[in-house]
Amino acid sequence: MPQSLCRRSISTIACLAASVLSLTIWSGIATADGSGDPKSVSRDENGKYVDAQGNPTFHVSDDGTWDWYTYSGYRRYHSDCHVCHGPDGEGSSYAPALKDSLQKLSYSDFASTVAGGRVNVTSSQNNVMPSFGNNPNVMCYLDDIYVYLRARSDGALGRVRPEKKEDKTKAYAKAEDSCMGAK
Ligand code: HEC
């Protein structure tokens, strides 16, 4: 923070504004999306990483090993979403690029849109985002899909399949079975 700016500024507000400005500039290296800083702070027994806010996030090790959720989300996205939203979250003429949507949507915005769907009908278009709330193939993998798209949104993962990945944990397999069985 350039102290001189603060000393010279006429009010606390201006000083604060200057601090915020310099903060923005200095934190420019770390990427952020609609859920904030994607940096992971911990990993649970399912192999899911979370950020400082407790939202699911991606993780890639120095040797290029991706977390299980990113890999699983890649597969789920391409079986249930890409027909409308385009391959790799790139969008289509029908539905928006989710890699860009996640720049503004929070985790809960994302989850509620997928569960509830959305209809956007105007005189020139009739775009329908189906509701997936009763579809276990999507709802059981909501975090996986979110994590994959977050990695795409933050530019950490390119337009590729995450080849090298962590193993599926026993806890994940158990949770998956009970979720899929509960349909
Ligand atoms: C039948 C086509 C279709 C499928 C399949 C589909 N979507 Fe959508 N989705 C849309 C359309 C169209 C919109 C834009 C609706 C609007 O204009 O409000 C949309 C919007 C969204 C949005 C809000 C985007 C924004 O920028 O606000 C999210 C999030 C989303 N979809 C997630 C998903 C996920 C995740 C899947 C897969 C599980 C999926 N969608 C599958 C058609 C689809």
What are phi and psi for residue 57, nearest 5 degrees?
A: -145, 170
Structural domains for the chain: 1-30 (no CATH), 32-181 (1.10.760.10)
pLDDT classification of 28: cutoffs 50, 70, 90:
very low
Could you give the residue ranges of the DSSP H alpha helices within 9-141? 12-26, 68-80, 82-85, 98-101, 107-116, 136-139
Report the Cα 31 to chain-centroid distance in Å: 12
Binding site membership of 96 for ligand 1 (Cβ less than 6 Å): yes
What number does the ligand 1 atom closest to the CA of 125 have?
17
Over the stretch 125-170, which tens digit does the pLDDT of each residue have? Answer: 888 999 999 999 999 999 999 999 999 999 999 999 999 999 999 9
pLDDT tens digits, 50-59: 999 999 999 9
**What is the value of pTM for the model shown?**
0.86
User: With a 6 A CB cut-off, is 26 part of the ligand 1 pocket?
Assistant: no
Identify the residue whose C-alpha is closest to ligand 1 atom 20: 129
Residue 77 contacts residue 148 (beta carbons within 8 Å): yes
